[in-house]
Every structure is written in C-alpha cells, then in structure tokens.
C-alpha cells in the first residue's frame, strides 16, 4: 500500500498551513472511518492540533489499486460531524 497525495491536497496543505504529515497520520491512526454517500469518497477523522486547538480533522480518500489517494483535508466541528452521520451522508465503515 502506498499513500499518494493528490494535487488538491498539496494545495490545501499549503493554503491552510497543515503539517505535511497530517493526512498520512490521520489515515493511519484514525478510529473513525466513513463512506461519503454524496461524494463517493472514503473519509477518516482524527483529533489533531490545528490552529492552536485540538480539532477534528477529516481527510477524503480513494482506494485506487494498491494506492490510497488522499484527495483533501479540512477541519470539521463535532456538530458538522454529527449532522453528516445523522443525515446518512456519512456511513460508518471499516478502515479500507
């Protein structure tokens, strides 16, 4: 398995000043995995330090052959996370 950063993710890391290794760490260490029924991407969420606070950070990723291709990263509030689960947009899944 190889973890690949897509161009959009690289741009987001720079724009939002995320640590370069955060997407990889979130994918590998998350305990919350979902499937996004709207975008058809897999999602991993983990609490990490960002902007001087401990926050939920979410990554969207796809499994392409033997690769995990991470699409984007963004902070997500507890309220937003709960709402996406309650509406059925995010369905719990196992780590892919």
Tell me how far the alpha carbon of residue 23 is from its chain's centroid: 7
User: Which letter does DSSP use for residue 31 in this model?
Assistant: S
What are the residue ranges in the chain where pLDDT is below 70?
96
What's the domain count of the chain?
1
What is the model's pLDDT at position 94?
85
What is the model's pLDDT at position 18?
94
What is the model's pLDDT at position 95?
78
Task: Report which of 38, 37, 44, 18 is spatially closest to residue 96, judged by C-alpha positions.
Answer: 44
The boundaries of the domain holding residue 12 are 2-92
Task: Report which of 52, 54, 53, 57 is spatially closest to residue 44, judged by C-alpha positions.
Answer: 57
């Amino acid at each position: 398995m190889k973890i690949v950063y897509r161009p959009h993710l690289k741009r987001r890391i720079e724009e939002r000043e995320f640590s370069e290794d955060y997407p990889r760490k979130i994918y590998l260490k998350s305990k919350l995995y979902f499937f996004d029924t709207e975008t058809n991407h897999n999602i991993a969420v983990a609490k990490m330090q960002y902007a001087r606070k401990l926050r939920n950070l979410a990554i969207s990723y796809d499994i392409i052959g033997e690769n995990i291709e991470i699409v984007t990263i963004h902070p997500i509030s507890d309220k937003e996370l709960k709402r996406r689960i309650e509406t059925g947009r995010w369905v719990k899944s196992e780590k892919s």
